[in-house]
Amino acid sequence: MPTKKSQSGSILNFLAWFMGVVVSLVVGNAMIQGTLRLPGWLGGSTEVGLAIAMVIGWILVITTLIGAIMAILKK
């Protein structure tokens, strides 16, 4: 027998989703600006490593925004 979701459960689910979106955007932005880099052993101290980190940051930001928009439109 299906039960109704409690109000507090849906609020906690929303907060967890929202915090995940915010953290993803912050990490992506830090990678784009160069604050967060790949480790040196992965080539993070080279120009190529910095460019790869920037591209990964843009991919993270774009996919997070698309996912958030899709989740909002679904509800």
- Structural tokens at position 41: 């052993």
Query: Is the model's pLDDT at 5 over the cut of 90?
Result: no
Q: Which residue has the tokens 């843009």?
A: 58
Q: pTM of the full predicted structure? A: 0.80
d(CA 14, CA 70): 15
pLDDT in tens, 40-74: 888 888 899 999 999 999 999 999 999 999 999 98
Strand ranges (DSSP E) for 1-75?
none
Q: Which among 34, 57, 56, 58 has a CA at the least distance from the CA of 46?
A: 34
Residue 60 contacts residue 27 (beta carbons within 8 Å): yes
